Amino acid sequence: MNKMYQALLVLIVILMGCASFDAITAKNRVQLNQLKIGMTKSEVLSIMGTETINTGGEPELVTNPYKIETFRGQSGKTYETLFYYTDVKQRDGVISDDELTPIVFEDGNLIGWGNSFFSDIKRIEVRIR
């Protein structure tokens, strides 16, 4: 059923000519369901995509991933986070952090995703000064 939903979503985007924000966020949410802990970064990128999508609106282009953040934790481990556009909170032409879902890697392997997971990792691994 998941594959059929994805195919339908892709067909809708093709028929529209250019992707709407709702189509982009829906596609990214569907792709999140295919992730598994322990995947490599390249496996995750092949599932989630790396394309730039023309929305025909404002902003005109949305990239996948939308942004990337890297930090070194107090344990010495390196964390890289890919942020994908998964939710439209306001139709204001601005993609804000609360509209993104973080996907977190530790030393190149997927360890989790979602805002609460990302917040926990940052709280545990980053010293507050």
Higher pLDDT, 65 or 21: 65
Average pLDDT score over residue span 14-25: 65
Q: How far apart are CA 101 and CA 85, in angstroms?
A: 6
Task: Assess contact for 48 and 68: CB atoms under 8 A.
Answer: no
Domains of the chain and any CATH numbers: 2-125 (3.30.1450.10)
Asked if pLDDT for residue 63 goes beyond 80, the answer is yes
Q: Provide the whole-model pTM.
A: 0.80
% of the chain at pLDDT higher than 90: 50
- Cis, peptide link before residue 102, omega less than 30° from 0: no
Asked if pLDDT for residue 92 goes beyond 90, the answer is no
Q: Determine the angle formed by the axes of helices 21-32 and 41-48, rounding to 10 degrees.
A: 140
% of the chain at pLDDT higher than 70: 84
The mean pLDDT value of the chain amounts to: 85
